[in-house]
Amino acid sequence: MVKIENITFEEKSRIIVISDIHGQIDILKKLLKKGKFSKKVSYTPQRDYLMLLGDFAQKGKYPLETLRYIIELSKIDKVYALLGNCDHGNFKLFRKEYLNTDFKELLNYPHTLLYDMYQEYKQSNPKFEQTDLDSLQDDMKEYFINELTFLENLPYIIESKDLIFVHAGLDKIEDYHNSFYRSVFMKRYFLNEGHLAHKMVICGHFPVTIYRQDEFNDNIIIDYKKHIISIDGGLVVKDGGQLNALIINKNKEDYQYETAFEDGLPQVLTKKESIENQRGKGACWPNFNLRLLEKGEYFSKIILTDTNEITFIKNEYLCENNTKAYDDCPASILGVPKGVMVGIINDKCKGYVLIKYQGKQGWVKKEVIEGEENEKMY
């Protein structure tokens, strides 16, 4: 049975839920403290519950700093954290069976927690000389014992009378407490599979835009029928991804949900209106294999060979002799009013700029975005 922590919320409560921070302490702080898109969050310690659903410190710019911030937050009353797959992997690295594989490899791999730890450990010891990996692993484990103990002691599931919080999902069994331990922090497509827990399950891990059929949209999905709220906005792992916050306003047995996000993208004002004239999901992980049907000046018509879906792709995203997309690429031309703020994801392509507007990603003509005289706002 996986480690479960039970919680009783006050009858009238405000609960803020965040997942998949991935080493971006800067975005997390903006989200909690009235950022550009998240004024409604306004986290107030002691008053609000704060639920942090794992994957704290991997892939982003500030893994170690972010983890330490999470540890400090967790000392505050009403703050709860649970285990994600990246967190599990980080403390597992210090087991001897991973010494000559993952531990050795990630020591010099930027944007990982182990890399940050290694850099700090070396700087803290002016006479540092790396001898053997085995001794280094032991010494670093002792030096970072507080961080590693925090990760190893995290629960897999936090559960209240009506809500279940988990990083990835549950096995679809009545006795969900006996879910396989890897399922709770590694399961993919949980929203599609569903569960038998008879409670609302709130999870992260799997970027929500993958679930959507006809658009790139990083906003939270609330599925009342399946009793699942999926909140991973794809921060760091997706170009243009965002850090989502689910705000739960609880009044006895009544639960009302609000959403907010922050993404850290440079913001510009639109110079002209953009008219939506092309819509489609495009190429989205894991479906990157394709066959070219018709080459256009800016976009090409393709068929995704894994799904047989006909869609469009920006020409610059074609690779391997026009048989693959090299990354996620929305197909939509977004409709956007004049004079609104949009986030810039990719402005290096011919004729069009990839933007985000209200959590949705898509293309607009370059003339819609003001030129260099339009100062970017961050």
191-209 tens-digit pLDDT: 999 999 999 999 999 999 9
The whole model's pTM is what? 0.94
How far is the C-alpha of 190 from the C-alpha of 79, rounded, in Å? Answer: 25
How far is the C-alpha of 356 from the C-alpha of 238, rounded, in Å? Answer: 12
Look at the domain 7-84+154-262 and name its fold: Purple Acid Phosphatase; chain A, domain 2 (3.60.21)
pLDDT of residue 377: 31
Q: How many residues does the chain have?
A: 378
pLDDT category at 371 given cuts 50, 70, 90 is low
pLDDT of residue 305: 97
Say which residue, 128 or 308, is predicted with more confidence: 308
Taking the domains of the chain in order of start, what are their residue ranges?
Answer: 7-84+154-262, 267-368
Cβ atoms of 9 and 160 closer than 8 Å: yes
| Amino acid identity, position 305 | T
Q: Is the pLDDT of residue 36 over 80?
A: no
Cβ atoms of 24 and 30 closer than 8 Å: no
The model's pLDDT over 319-344, given as tens digits with 9 standing for 90+, comes to: 999 999 999 999 999 999 999 999 99
Q: Is the pLDDT of residue 370 over 90?
A: no
Q: What is the DSSP string of 177-193?
A: GG--HHHHHH-SSHHHH
pLDDT of residue 132: 87
